């Protein structure tokens, strides 16, 4: 699925492993939401796009991970500097 949307016709048999880590096939019926990044494992179905680009669930997950990694980098850098300062103080 390239976008987040809603099933409008047919039944979607989706592998949501990209989001959940589980490769179970999930059935989605008319009116149910589908998430971009999932893989259709069944027959074609119709879907009305609801979110595209930066508004999708996958884009938001990516943004959250990016921010988290930035914070981790800051913490690691602060820790390294504290260790360096402690070592300098010990040597003095």
Look at residue 35 in the predicted model and tell me its pLDDT.
Answer: 92
Q: Do 42 and 12 contact (CB within 8 A), yes or no?
A: yes
Please name every residue paired with 4 in a beta bridge, in sequence order, or none if there are none: 51
Sheet holding 25-28, edge to edge: 25-28, 12-15, 39-40
Q: Sign of the CA dihedral 46, 48, 1, 38?
A: negative
Look at residue 21 in the predicted model and tell me its pLDDT.
Answer: 84
Walking along the chain (92 residues) 10 residues at a time, the average pLDDT comes out as: 92 91 91 93 94 89 92 91 84 74
């Amino acid at each position: 699925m390239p976008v987040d949307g809603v099933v409008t016709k047919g039944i979607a048999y989706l592998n949501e492993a990209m989001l959940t880590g589980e490769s179970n096939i999930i059935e989605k019926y008319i009116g149910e939401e589908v998430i971009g990044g999932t893989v259709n494992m069944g027959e074609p179905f119709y879907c009305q796009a609801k979110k595209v680009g930066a508004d999708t669930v996958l884009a938001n997950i990516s943004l959250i991970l990016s921010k988290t990694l930035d914070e981790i980098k800051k913490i690691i850098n602060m820790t390294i500097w504290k260790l360096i300062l402690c070592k300098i103080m010990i040597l003095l």
